[in-house]
Amino acid sequence: MKDSADTRRSGFRGTLRTLARRTLRTVALLLAFTLVVALGLNLDGPPADGPPPLSFTEEAQLGAESRAADLAAAATALSVAVSSGGASSDGASSNGAESELSGTYAETAGILQEQADALWHPVLSDPPVTSAPTAAGLSEPTVAAESTAAPTPTPTPAGFVADLFSSAQQNLNAAVTAEPGIARLLASVGASQRRQALALADLQGLKSPPPGPLPSVAAGPSPTCPAPIPRNGTAGGSTPRAGTSPEDHPEADLLGEAVAAEHRSAYAYEVAAARGAEPSTLVEFAAEHASAAGAGETLLRTITCPQPGPQAPAFALDAAFFDDPEATLAALNTELMTMYVDMVGLTDGPARRWAVQRFSDLAHHQHLATDAVEAFPGIRN
C-alpha cells in the first residue's frame, strides 16, 4: 500500500512539473511575441538596408538646395575670374563693363547662397556651403567639413547662365506638385533665379530661352450642383435654385479674389495707357491681365456651382495713381506677386499650377520694369 501511495504521489508531482514547464513555455512565447510587437521588429526577415526613400518634396528641396549652392560657388568663381580678366564675355569688353559684370556675379552669388541656406534641410542636407567675402573680394567657397575633392573648374559665362535658367525651370516645375510650404519657397526661388539669369544674359549679350511649360496636373472632380428650376413654372428656364451657394471648395474664394485683382490691374493699365505718351507696353500688359482674369474665371467655373458674376466696368483709382502711375503700377505688380505666391502655398491641382504660372509671368514683368533682383520675390519678410 505504501509503495502504491508513493507511486501516486510521484506521478502527481511529475504531472505538476510537466504542467509548470508548459505554462512557463507559453508565458515565454507570449512575452517574446509582445516584445517583437513593441519594438516593431520585422518578422519577415532582416530590415532593409539604408534609410527610407525620399518623398517628391524632399527630393525637390534637396535638389534645389544643391543647385543653388553649386551655382553660388560658380558665380563666385566667375566674379573673381571676370575681375582678373580670366573669363571672356561679349558684354565685358572694357574695364568698366568687366567691373559691372564682376559685381553682378558677386551679387548673384550672394542671392544664390541665401536661397541655398533657406532650402537647407536640417536632417537630410549635407553640411552647408558658404561663400564668405574677404578683404580682397569674394573668396572661393568653403565647406564646413574639409573636402578632399578636386577643385571644380571655373564655368563659362554662357554655361553658367544656361544652368541658372535650367535650375529656375526645375524649381517652378516642382512647385506645381510639392507640399505647400516648400512649393511656395520653390516658386519664389525659381522666379528669382530666372530673373538673375535674364539680367546676366542681357548684360553679356547671351540668349535667353523662353520659359518652359509647367507640368500638367489632373483636375479634381466636378462639383455636383442642384438642377435649375423652371422660371415661372415653365420648362426650359435657367434660373438657379434659390438659396444655392458655391461648393465647399477652399480654393474658390482664392480664385475669386485673384480674378478680381486681375480685372482691377487690367483697368489700371488701360487708364495709364490712355494718359501716357508711349502706351504700347501698357496696353500689352492690360491685355495680359484681362486674359489672366478670363483664364481664372474658366478655372473657377470648374470648382463652383454659381458662375462668376460680371465684373465692374471700372474701378476707383487713388490720387497716388494719377500723381505717379509708374510707381503705382509697380506696387500693384508686387502685390499681385505676393498674392500668387501665397496662393501657391494654399492650393493644389490646376489652381496651384495657374498660380505658379501667373507668379512667374508677373516676376518677368518686374524684371522688365526694374534691374533689382530679390532672393525671395513675393515672400514677405
Of the segments 5-19, 178-192, 217-231, 249-263, which one has the largest average pLDDT value?
178-192
Give the three cell numbers for residue 99: 567691373
φ/ψ of 55, rounded to 5, equals -75, 170
CA atoms of 374 and 292, how far apart (whole Å)? 24
Return the CA Rg of the chain.
33
Cell 559684370 sits at which residue? Answer: 101
Given the C-alpha cell 508513493, which residue does it identify? 6
Query: 206: phi > 0 → left, psi -120 to 50 → alpha, else beta; which?
Result: beta
Query: Which triple of cell numbers denotes residue 247?
Result: 461648393
Of 48-57, 128-137, 144-153, 228-237, the poorest mean pLDDT is in 128-137
Single-letter amino acid, residue 190 = G
- Tell me, what's the pLDDT at 373? 86
| Higher pLDDT, residue 371 or 334 | 334
Q: Is the pLDDT of residue 156 over 50?
A: yes
Cα diameter, the chain: 132
Per-residue pLDDT reduced to its tens digit, 123-141: 888 765 444 443 333 434 4
The better pLDDT of the pair 369, 257 is held by 257
d(CA 339, CA 152) in angstroms, rounded, equals 40
pTM of the full structure: 0.74
Enumerate the β-bridge partners of residue 143: 129
Write out pLDDT tens, residues 242-261. 333 444 567 888 999 999 99
